[in-house]
């Protein structure tokens, strides 16, 4: 099916893009890499009268260091995220996630900002963004605001962004010494999307006890979330295999699992606990090496 007719805009500045969103309200949609939006348009699940293509806003692309925080432009492609040396050295969780997104074509066109703003229940990055305690920067008619990752994912395909706001940047705080990270995923074999994905960020003290563990889960429920009960159980604990296995069983505490053609609810919960265990084991091992 072809999309319904729309007017195409390619603003030269961020302010011009925001002005177009304000002018056309619900009738406008932002276009980044198009790899989630175009399927939606072709299926006529959305029929915006105006497409605002932000692909020309070069300032929203790329990765830079500011006082230890890595600032990733929303238009940075999945491929750029897999190859960027700064990210690979300082925040390897994001490249680890990016290289498992979809296929080469998707990774070349799709963007981090588009993936986060779309907030698909099966998207990979939300797990990592939550576990890293990232901040998301949005610009709208009233200026800029910063949204903690924990408040960003609101519901299925719904984020804290207002309709006239543009996600401009994702800020990744510096990892502390003796921190390890890992992303584990059970992928849908056709698309690559996560049936379940679990990201872990683990910091150890000099004796090998857990100072802090942060775990983000995607795919299991309609929106990505942190595994708060598991995280509390690990604080101060020695990170041996038995402790990790017991804590991983708490990964699904409070989750309301999806039950669909890709996986039944019980299976999703079991996979979530198993992947939490693997992610914690791998992150703890990397933390010991750091």
**199 is a contact residue toward ligand FAD (CB under 6 A):** no
Window 142-171: contact mask with ligand FAD (x via CB under 6 A): -------------------x----xx----
- Of the candidates 32, 87, 250, 279, which one interacts with ligand FAD according to CB under 6 A? 32
Size of residue set near ligand FAD by CB under 6 A: 29
CA–CA gap between residue 167 and residue 56 (Å, rounded): 15
Q: Is the dihedral of CA 270, 271, 274, 279 positive or negative?
A: negative
* Angle at which helices 241-248 and 265-289 cross, to 10°: 150
The piece of 25-33, 203-211, 249-257, 271-279 that touches ligand FAD (CB under 6 A) is 25-33
How many residues can be counted in the chain?
290
The piece of 24-32, 127-135, 239-247, 255-263 that touches ligand FAD (CB under 6 A) is 24-32
CA–CA gap between residue 226 and residue 12 (Å, rounded): 37
Q: How far is the CB of 188 from ligand FAD (least distance, A)?
A: 7
Q: How far is the CB of 31 from ligand FAD (least distance, A)?
A: 5
CA nearest neighbour of 248 among 228, 274, 216, 266: 274
Burial class (CB in 10 A: 0-12, 13-18, 19+), 16: middle
CA–CA gap between residue 8 and residue 17 (Å, rounded): 12
Window 88-127: contact mask with ligand FAD (x via CB under 6 A): -------------xx---x---xx-xxx-xx----xxx--
Phi/psi-derived region of residue 92, left when phi > 0, alpha when psi is between -120 and 50, beta in every other case: alpha
Q: Which is nearer to ligand FAD, 83 or 191 (CB)?
A: 191
- Binding residues (CB under 6 A) for ligand FAD: these are 29-37, 74, 101-102, 106, 110-111, 113-115, 117-118, 123-125, 161, 166-167, 191-193
């Amino acid at each position: 099916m072809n999309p319904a007719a729309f007017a195409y805009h390619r603003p030269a500045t961020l302010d011009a893009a925001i002005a177009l969103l304000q002018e056309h309200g619900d009738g406008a949609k932002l276009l980044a890499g198009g790899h989630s939006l175009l399927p939606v348009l072709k299926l006529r699940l959305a029929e915006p009268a105006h497409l605002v293509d932000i692909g020309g806003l070069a300032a929203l692309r790329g990765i830079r260091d500011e006082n230890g925080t890595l600032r990733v432009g929303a238009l940075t492609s999945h491929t750029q995220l897999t190859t960027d040396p700064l990210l690979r050295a300082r925040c390897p969780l994001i490249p680890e996630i990016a290289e498992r997104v979809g296929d080469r074509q998707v990774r070349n066109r799709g963007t981090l900002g588009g993936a986060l703003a779309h907030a698909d229940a099966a998207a990979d990055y939300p797990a990592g963004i939550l576990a890293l305690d990232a901040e998301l920067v949005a610009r709208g008619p009233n200026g800029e605001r910063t949204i903690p990752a924990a408040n960003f994912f609101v519901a299925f395909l719904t984020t804290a962004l207002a309709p006239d706001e543009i996600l401009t940047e994702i800020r990744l705080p510096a990892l502390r010494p003796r921190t390890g990270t890992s992303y584990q995923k059970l992928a849908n074999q056709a698309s690559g999307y996560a049936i379940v994905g679990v990201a872990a960020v683990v910091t150890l003290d000099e004796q090998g006890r857990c100072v802090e563990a942060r775990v983000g889960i995607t795919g299991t429920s309609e929106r990505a979330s942190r595994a708060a009960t598991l995280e509390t159980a690990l604080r101060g604990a020695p990170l041996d295999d038995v402790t990790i296995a017991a804590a991983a069983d708490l990964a699904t505490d409070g989750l309301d699992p999806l039950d669909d053609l890709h996986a039944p609810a019980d299976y999703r919960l079991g996979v979530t606990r198993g992947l939490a265990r693997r992610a914690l084991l791998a992150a703890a091992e990397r933390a010991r090496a750091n």
